[in-house]
């Protein structure tokens, strides 16, 4: 059996890759995908720890995280489409209409 810490390290690395994507990339859609990567990293931790503790609550949490992720993607992509309609770009450096 694989130790719990292997899964947690993999999840930490996956989360960090997602963070790098959010901080470095300029394309709003790729930033969105990186957020999905981070959500999946957390899901992996949930499932691994729930197996470790002989409980199913972690898997139920993953179910709800997926629900929220689906809702977030639907609304977020609608916002990105609207943004593209108004500004002709999805580069986050050029979208500063709310900057004071």
Residues that bind another protein (CB under 8 A): 1-2, 4-10, 12-21, 23-27, 29-30, 32-34, 36-37, 40, 43-44, 47-57, 59-60, 62-64, 66-75, 77-82, 84, 90-91, 93
The nearest distance, CB 100 to another protein, in angstroms, is 18
Least distance to another protein, CB of residue 78, Å: 4
Q: Please, which residue, 93 or 97, has the CB nearer to another protein?
A: 93
CA-angle at 19, arms to 17 and 20, nearest 5°: 65
The SS3 assignment for 42 reads: helix
37 contacts 25 by C-beta, under 8 angstroms:
no
Q: Which is nearer to another protein, 92 or 100 (CB)?
A: 92
Helix then strand then coil, % of the chain, to nearest 5: 75, 0, 20
């Amino acid at each position: 059996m694989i130790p719990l810490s292997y899964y947690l390290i993999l999840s930490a690395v996956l989360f960090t890759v997602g963070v790098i994507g959010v901080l470095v990339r300029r394309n709003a859609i790729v930033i969105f995908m990186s957020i999905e990567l981070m959500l999946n990293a957390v899901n992996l931790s949930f499932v691994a720890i729930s197996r470790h503790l002989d409980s199913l609550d972690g898997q139920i949490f993953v179910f709800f995280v997926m629900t929220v992720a689906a809702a977030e993607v639907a609304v977020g992509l609608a916002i990105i489409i609207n943004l593209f309609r108004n500004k002709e770009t999805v580069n986050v450096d050029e979208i500063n209409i709310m900057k004071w």
